[in-house]
Amino acid sequence: STVDVVVVGSLNIDMTARVSRHPLPGETVQSTTALTTSAGGKGANQAVAAARLGARTALVGRVGADAHGDSLLEALRADGVDTARIGRDDEVATGTALISVAATGENSIIVSAAANARLSPDDIAGAGPLIAAARVVSLVLEVPVETVTAAARTAHAAGARLVLNLSPVTDLPAEVLALADPLIVNEHEAREILQRKGFPVPRDAVEHAVALLGVGARSVVVTFGESGAVVAESGRAEHIPGVPAEAVDTTGAGDAFAATMAWRLSQGDALAAAARWATRVGARSVQHPGAQPSYPTLDHVLSGSA
């Protein structure tokens, strides 16, 4: 393989306000700082996180032919991500996320998909040779289901390992879930998936991950914020403890986690070993504001620097 990780997914401009607490319906809350604009989107975040750790990484996606699209592509290139398969769309804007971050570090987000909604199975066909050269293909659900399905099929046919971050939760063909190795979701997403399938509510973290194996994935990783993650395969589960961190902004922690999984799996790590790396990178990312700006280099991770 000539590429470690190919990410198929979204690119968004993140517009972030910091608030003492999130607004209730009908309420107005003042931002406590000036609005910041930074590069985000689950697909782009994963690509940057993986590349910063040293993975040879490419991103398949779509942006508008606007200034936001320019700055997203620039950010990706600055981190060495291959952007050759990122299309530009004349008719729609670049995706945008409106993020509010509360004093606790917890975020609340509105996403306008825009160009991300135009990423098509044809784009996947065009990226066929790139996907065929990848060890791991990582998918997120901020792009259309038929595109995710096409990417999963193409990756499988080429012998690439599939990492599926089912975020936001979306109904997928059973065939795609069956290829996920692992399926990665956070605690809330895990609950939503199990609820939709009519499964009983799990009592603890380990039960969440084991129950999700029942939806058909080859392996499962459920993230639990500061508590870390649970990995499950072949009916067995293991808790990977969180790495203590002073959280200032958790935006993009899940993407950093998924990207680290993809990178370590591309290097031959077992699931639990990859998840141990991912909790370290996730913890590092919550200690700095923003999504992509908060991601560490391999040196940062190895030296344990904040």
Binding-site ranges for ligand ATP (CB under 6 A): 107, 186, 223-226, 228-229, 242-243, 245, 247, 250-255, 257, 279, 282-283, 286
Q: How far is the CB of 28 from ligand ATP (least distance, A)?
A: 24
Q: Which is nearer to ligand ATP, 257 or 263 (CB)?
A: 257
Minimal CB distance to ligand ATP: which residue? 254
CB closer to ligand ATP, 128 vs 242: 242
Q: Which of 156, 85, 72, 164 is nearest to 119 (CA)?
A: 85
Contacts 24+ apart (CB under 8 A), 144-150: 144/117, 144/119, 144/120, 145/170, 145/171, 145/172, 145/173, 146/120, 146/121, 147/8, 147/119, 147/120, 147/121, 147/123, 148/8, 148/172, 148/176, 149/121, 149/173, 149/175, 149/176, 150/121, 150/124, 150/125
- Asked if 79 is an active-site residue, the reply is no
Cis peptide before 182 (omega within 30 of 0): yes
Q: Are strands 229-233 and 236-240 parallel, antiparallel or unpaired?
A: antiparallel
CB of 132 to ligand ATP, least distance (A): 29
Least spacing, CB of residue 278 vs ligand ATP, in Å: 6
Minimum gap (Å) between residue 290 Cβ and ligand ATP:
11
Q: How far is CA 70 from the centre of its chain?
A: 21
Nearer residue to ligand ATP within complex by CB, 87 or 182: 182
Q: Which of 14, 82, 123, 255 is catalytic?
A: 255
- Judged by beta carbon, residue 100 or residue 154, the one nearer ligand ATP is 100
Residues forming the active site: 255
